[in-house]
Amino acid sequence: MKTTTRVVVIGGGVVGCSVLYHLTKLGWSDVMLLERSELTSGSTWHAAGGFHTLNGDTNMAALQGYTIRLYKELEEITGMSCGLHHVGGVTLADNQDRFDMLLAERAKHRFMGLETEIVGPEEIKKIAPITNTDGILGALYDPLDGHLDPSGTTHAYAKAARMGGATIETHCMVRETNQRPDGTWDVETDKGTIHAEHIVNAGGLWAREVGAMAGIYFPLHPMEHQYLVTDSIPDIEAIIDAGGEHPHVMDPAGESYLRQEGRGLCIGFYEQPCKPWAVDGTPWEFGHELLPDDFDKITDSIEFAYRRFPVLAEVGVKSVIHGPFTFAPDGNPLVGPVPGVRNYWSACGVMAGFSQGGGVGLTLAQWMIEGEPGRDVFAMDVARFGDWISPGYTRPKVIENYQKRFSVAYPNEELPAARPNRTTPMYDIFSDLGAVWGQQYGLEVPNYFAKGDEPDFETPSFRRSNAFEATGREVRAVREGVGINEVHNFGKYRITGAGARAWLDRIMAGRIPKPGRVSLTPMLSPNGKLIGDFTVSCLNENEFRVTASYGSQAFHMRWFLQNQDEGVNIENISDRLNGFQIAGPKATEVLSACTREDVSSLRFLDVREMTIGMTDCIVQRVSYTGDLGYEIYCDPVAQRQLWWTLWQAGQPHGIAPFGMRAMMSLRLDKFFGSWMREFSPDYTAAETGLDRFISFSKNSNFIGRAAAETERAAGTNRRLVAFEVDAADADVNAYEPIWIDGSVVGFCTSGGYSHYARKSIAMGFLPTEQATEGCEVSIEILGRMRAARVITTPLFDADGARMRG
Considering the domain boundaries, does residue 542 fall inside one? Answer: yes
Beta strands in 573-703 (DSSP E): 578-583, 607-612, 615-620, 629-634, 656-657
**Residue 497 in contact with residue 688, Cβ under 8 Å?**
no
Per-residue model confidence as pLDDT tens digits over 427-449: 999 999 999 999 999 999 999 99
Q: Are 161 and 46 found together in one domain?
A: yes
The pLDDT value recorded for residue 45 is 67
Q: Mean pLDDT throughout 751-769? A: 98
**Residue 438 in contact with residue 447, Cβ under 8 Å?**
yes
Considering the domain boundaries, does residue 770 fall inside one? Answer: yes
Q: Are 185 and 215 found together in one domain?
A: yes
Considering the domain boundaries, does residue 652 fall inside one? Answer: yes
**Lowest-confidence pick of 53-62, 283-292, 670-679:** 53-62
**Lowest-confidence pick of 13-17, 49-53, 582-586, 775-779:** 49-53
Q: For the chain, what percent of residues have pLDDT higher than 90?
A: 90
Q: Provide the CATH number for the domain around residue 688.
A: 3.30.70.1400
Q: For the chain, what percent of residues have pLDDT higher than 70?
A: 100
Per-residue model confidence as pLDDT tens digits over 501-512: 999 999 999 999
The pLDDT value recorded for residue 51 is 78
Q: Mean pLDDT throughout 199-212? A: 97
Count Cβ atoms below 10 Å from residue 592 Cβ, excluding itself. 14
For residue 294, is pLDDT > 70?
Answer: yes
Per-residue model confidence as pLDDT tens digits over 70-103: 999 999 999 999 988 889 999 999 999 999 999 9
Q: Are 709 and 765 found together in one domain?
A: no
Q: Are 27 and 57 found together in one domain?
A: yes
- Number of residues assigned to the chain: 805
Q: Provide the CATH number for the domain around residue 585.
A: 3.30.1360.120
Who has greater pLDDT, 48 or 538?
538
Considering the domain boundaries, does residue 428 fall inside one? Answer: no
The pLDDT value recorded for residue 152 is 92
The closest of 102, 104, 185 to 140, measured between CA atoms, is 102
Per-residue model confidence as pLDDT tens digits over 564-581: 999 999 999 999 999 999
Considering the domain boundaries, does residue 437 fall inside one? Answer: no
pLDDT tier at 555, thresholds 50, 70, 90:
very high
Domain count, the chain: 4
Q: Mean pLDDT throughout 291-297? A: 91
Q: Are 651 and 788 found together in one domain?
A: no
What would the DSSP string read from start to end of 572-586? E-TTT-EEEEEESTT
The pLDDT value recorded for residue 297 is 93
Q: Are 552 and 609 found together in one domain?
A: no
Q: Are 763 and 699 found together in one domain?
A: no
The pLDDT value recorded for residue 1 is 87
The pLDDT value recorded for residue 28 is 98
Per-residue model confidence as pLDDT tens digits over 403-421: 999 899 999 999 999 999 9
For residue 63, is pLDDT > 90?
Answer: no
Q: Provide the CATH number for the domain around residue 19.
A: 3.50.50.60
Q: Mean pLDDT throughout 304-319? A: 93
Q: Provide the CATH number for the domain around residue 735.
A: 2.40.30.110
Question: Rounded to an integer, what distance in angstroms lies between the CA atom of residue 763 and that of residue 602?
Answer: 32
Considering the domain boundaries, does residue 92 fall inside one? Answer: no
Per-residue model confidence as pLDDT tens digits over 444-465: 999 999 999 999 999 999 999 9
Beta strands in 331-441 (DSSP E): 334-337, 344-348, 435-440
Count Cβ atoms below 10 Å from residue 689 Cβ, excluding itself. 15
**Lowest-confidence pick of 21-30, 348-357, 362-371, 738-747:** 348-357
Considering the domain boundaries, does residue 448 fall inside one? Answer: no
**Lowest-confidence pick of 54-63, 275-284, 330-339, 364-373:** 54-63
Question: Rounded to an integer, what distance in angstroms lies between the CA atom of residue 594 and that of residue 95?
Answer: 54
Q: Are 659 and 590 found together in one domain?
A: yes
**Residue 372 in contact with residue 525, Cβ under 8 Å?**
yes
Q: Are 8 and 57 found together in one domain?
A: yes
Q: Mean pLDDT throughout 233-244? A: 93
**Residue 479 in contact with residue 796, Cβ under 8 Å?**
yes
pLDDT tier at 380, thresholds 50, 70, 90:
very high
Count Cβ atoms below 10 Å from residue 234 Cβ, excluding itself. 11
H-type alpha helices, 510-566? 553-562
The closest of 647, 584, 655, 645 to 611, measured between CA atoms, is 645
**Residue 678 in contact with residue 749, Cβ under 8 Å?**
yes
Q: Are 588 and 634 found together in one domain?
A: yes
**Which of the listed residues 367, 387, 407 is the one where a domain comes to its end?**
387
Beta strands in 58-183 (DSSP E): 89-93, 117-119, 138-142, 146-147, 167-169, 174-179
Considering the domain boundaries, does residue 33 fall inside one? Answer: yes
Q: Mean pLDDT throughout 248-270? A: 94
For residue 43, is pLDDT > 90?
Answer: no
Q: Are 699 and 725 found together in one domain?
A: no
Q: Mean pLDDT throughout 379-387? A: 94
Q: For residue 627, what are the domain limits?
A: 578-664
Q: Are 591 and 620 found together in one domain?
A: yes
The pLDDT value recorded for residue 76 is 95
The pLDDT value recorded for residue 204 is 95
For residue 46, is pLDDT > 90?
Answer: no
